[in-house]
Structure 1
Amino acid sequence: MFKQALDFLGDIRSEVVISETQAEDGADDLKPDHKQIVANYLAEQKRLYGSLESREKQIVRDYKKNPDGCELLIVVDKLLTGFDAPRDTVLYLAKQLKDHNLLQAIARVNRVFDGDAGKPRKTAGLIVDYSKNAKNLKSALELFSNFDPADIENALMDTDSQIKALQKCFESLREPFADIADKNDVNAYVDKLKSDEKAREKFKEDVNACIRQFSLCRALHDFYDKVDLDTLRGWQGELKRFIEIKKTTMLACAEAVDFSKYKDQIAKLLDKYVTAREAEILSKEINLSDMREFDQYIEDERNGLSDKSKADAILAQTKKIIYEKYDQDKAFYGKFSDLIERLLVDLKTAKKEDLAALLEQAKSYQSAVADYVDSDIPDDLRADKTAHPFYRNLRGFFASSDDYTDIVRHIVDLIKRRKVVDFSVKQEVRRAVINDIEDFLFDEVNEKLSADAIEQIALTAWNLAVENKDSF
């Protein structure tokens, strides 16, 4: 009947593991209604699975191994011994247990678990008791000589204290922003967090802690009896806003954004306040290397970012890309790194009427870096992007050469001729490429190059080939 109710509600995937003896008392027409329901259910399951034993093994295996499978296992006189599922997080006790049976049941949720992919780490279990088992816990623990009565007090969790802990979580989130007059001004929050790395890290952890505590409270059976609807709505709206502020701040600082471990919790916590689609967006990972995805978030009016905040976020994201790719083309990425630093200085002192133009400038730098495009490459070499880093970074060695483009093209061809699988880590390929380039420069380039310069050119070309190995 529990399963029928859960299936009717549709929010939780559940299964029942029950002994066949629970439905074997008397003929069908003499059984109480609930016994008849159990008997009919088991008969249907036996038909589907072939046997109840086969069904139980399959359900238990799915529960243990599949994070997207059964979420709630309803057990009647089963699985008290020999059952080990570290992901067990909440135990609901709907009947009284005593002594070893009570301790074995509690042990089901007392293990830590690193968490499945996209799921939060389990640091503690939760027991929801509907049958006054707390009174039996002392006598059960007294079976052991080293029993400490304080353990019971520490293990018991009342709803009022957990609501207070949740209120404290919200207080911790609000406290750093007490001086912000307009609580709807996302930019004010972002600017404050961007300027203080220590405060930013604490805020990020405080948001995660609030999600965890809110989820814990939501699992308590009388939580919704003790919190009125207006308060609950207020907390949901406030948590949604803090999650958005955290996400926007991380993007503005070019930090990886990944709420996947809290995706399920966010969706369930905010299900009365936001749509499933909005919860999906809140928890969605943002790929900082994907300019289109990044810009979609930045330009979304619902995030409330000013032109200055948008420009700051775009430049921070672009700087991150430059940092990751800098060695592939130091001349190109060094140039745009300098341009971005100058633009950031301008943004700090810019008048409001100038911000739109500076935002467009930031977008142009972002686009150039993302597309790896600049105006310094000659037309006849522009289509061959493999040659671009060589053209830029070897230019200083050939200041007076009229056929520099041909030299670059020939050096790239020499490298391509020696290309084999994993060429960048093979010393024999390195030696051959450097020798080929040196021979070419000695024999065919009409330029007064010293032996040291030729050696440096060959080594620079090899290093560029290694850094850009995926382009060959």
Structure 2
Amino acid sequence: MTGFDAPSAIYLYIDKKMQDHGLFQAICRVNRLDGEDKEYGYIIDYKDLFKSLEGAIGDYTGGALEGYDRADVAGLLENRLEKGRERLEEAREAVKALCEPVAPPKDTGAYLHYFCAADTLDQAALKDNEPKRIALYKAVSALVRAFANLANEMPDAGYRNTEIEAIRQEVDHYEKVRHEVKLGSGDYVDMKVFEPAMRHLLDTYLQAEDSEVISAFDDLGLVELIVEQGLGALDKLPKGIRDNPEAMAETIEHNVRKLIIDEQPVNPKYYEKMSQLLDALIQERKAQALAYQEYLKKLVELSGKVKKPTATTAYPTSLNTPARRALYDNLDYNEALAVKIDTAVRYTKKDDWRGNRFKEREVENAIREELGEYAMKTPEIFELVKNQREY
């Protein structure tokens, strides 16, 4: 295995004499990027070979890589503190640019309106604003990593004490914005796999006070937490949301809306009805037709219906699976036909049938045959079947 084939590494500890090919290949290995979390590698030079490193690059371009310009390997080695400061400043500017359009006073509500939806009745806004949220999450994560890389050496990087504290508060502010937007939009569950490493950086270089609040959402999304714990779950939301009744209401509405959107393909008719109920509830809130606590109770009740359809809807006993219930809801509540199609699909489908044109055609034909006089609904029902997790 050559140095170019070897796995990527983040740190290179030089504790012995190295030169020429071996030295150059070791540098390439630690500089190789293999994911978003690695921005560059570190070289810890116990043998004071830094001057030799520059020589190794020169010798290598004149030896095994003869014919390559020096420009081909320019930038292989850079001053870590200079590069760290450059990246931190770039990350700060990137986050500020993303948040610049947020309306004054740039509080929790303003950020939720800009990155989620200005009006929770707008069913398309949450999805349409998803690219802005993803850009925010990535930019703030890059800012936190850039700050963490320099946090213990900022004076050496040229920052004054007042600048260091201002930057720390800035990073803390934008991390809280990121977290509130993720919770407010319902994106937290989708991205929580990335949270442990980020949590470690925040606890180490910013502050750990909020870790207990955030941990409430480690295993459950907001809607799931509400279904399990009722109104008590809302006490676990960040203070910026919790202390703002409108932000609290919009956060729950966005989370319920996102769940409806995500589950819509599994049972279009049922979740269309849930969407209508949510719209009606939002309109009541906007018209101030309900006291705030009464509104929250109704929202909790709706969350249960969205998350657990069987807990609030009485289905015939033969409809004992989610797929059968979805077919029933989308076949004008025809119990016998729903059972027949479910049986036909289970009998016909083969392993890995989705995405295989011939296997899909067999399932579609079986559905068409069972539909009989409703054959015109075959494409709709076939798509519904494809979206069922149990098939």
Same fold, TM-score > 0.5, yes or no: yes
The match for 2:236 is: 300
Q: CA deviation at 1:267?
A: 0.7
Query: Is residue 91–residue 126 contact of structure 1 (8 Å, CA) maintained in 2?
Result: yes
The match for 1:60 is: none
Q: Structure 2 length as normaliser, TM-score?
A: 0.67
- Which whole-Å deviations, capped at 9, do the CAs of 1:116-163 have from their partners, x for residues lacking one? xxxx44353233446553323333223224453796667322525523
The match for 1:336 is: 274
Q: Structure 1 length as normaliser, TM-score?
A: 0.58
* Matching residue within 236, 246, 251 for 2:183: 251
Distance 1:294 1:393, change over 3 A: closer
The match for 2:32 is: 111
The match for 2:336 is: 410
Q: CA deviation at 1:230?
A: 8.0
Q: CA deviation at 1:271?
A: 1.8
Paired letter, 1:420: Y
Distance 1:463 1:268 in 2: 47
Paired letter, 2:273: K
Equivalent position SS for 1:292: helix
Q: Computing the radius of gyration over CA atoms, which structure comes out larger, 1 or 2?
A: 1
The match for 2:204 is: 271
The match for 1:315 is: 253
Paired letter, 2:374: E
Q: What's the % identity of the aligned pairs? A: 18
The match for 1:122 is: 38
* Matching residue within 150, 159, 171 for 1:239: 171
* Matching residue within 133, 138, 143 for 2:49: 133
Equivalent position SS for 2:43: strand
1:53-452 alignment, distance < 5 Å: 85-93=6-14, 97-114=18-35, 120-129=36-45, 132-143=48-59, 144-145=61-62, 146=68, 148=70, 155-160=77-82, 162-163=84-85, 165-174=87-96, 176=99, 185-195=107-117, 197=129, 200-217=133-150, 222-223=153-154, 235-236=167-168, 238-255=170-187, 257-258=190-191, 260-261=193-194, 263-264=196-197, 266-268=199-201, 270-271=203-204, 273-275=206-208, 278=211, 281=214, 288=221, 291-292=224-225, 299-305=235-241, 306-345=244-283, 347=285, 349=286, 354-372=291-309, 388-389=325-326, 392-395=329-332, 408-415=334-341, 418=344, 419-420=346-347, 422=349, 435=369, 438=372
Paired letter, 1:332: Y
Distance 1:279 1:150 in 2: 49
Distance 1:199 1:354 in 2: 33
Q: CA deviation at 1:433?
A: 6.1
Aligned residues: 357
Paired letter, 2:175: I
Distance 1:331 1:100, change over 3 A: closer
Equivalent position SS for 1:127: strand
Distance 1:458 1:150 in 2: 61
Query: Is residue 173–residue 203 contact of structure 1 (8 Å, CA) maintained in 2?
Result: yes
Distance 2:290 2:371 in 1: 54
Q: CA deviation at 1:370?
A: 1.2
Distance 1:212 1:84, change over 3 A: farther
**Could you list the runs of 5+ residues in structure 1 that have no partner in the other structure?**
1-78, 115-119, 396-404, 439-453
Q: CA deviation at 1:88?
A: 0.3
Task: Select the structure with the greater relative contact order (CA < 8 A; seq sep ≥ 6).
Answer: 2
Q: CA deviation at 1:413?
A: 4.2
Q: CA deviation at 1:113?
A: 1.5
Distance 2:72 2:390 in 1: 65
Query: Is residue 137–residue 152 contact of structure 1 (8 Å, CA) maintained in 2?
Result: no
Equivalent position SS for 1:242: helix
Distance 1:421 1:320, change over 3 A: farther
Equivalent position SS for 2:70: coil
* Matching residue within 455, 465, 471 for 2:374: 455
User: How much is the aligned-residue C-alpha RMSD, in angstroms?
Assistant: 4.8
Q: CA deviation at 1:334?
A: 1.5
Distance 1:208 1:466, change over 3 A: same
Farther off after superposition, 135-144 or 225-234 = 225-234
Paired letter, 1:304: G
Query: Is residue 32–residue 40 contact of structure 2 (8 Å, CA) maintained in 1?
Result: yes
Q: CA deviation at 1:111?
A: 1.9
Distance 1:250 1:127, change over 3 A: same
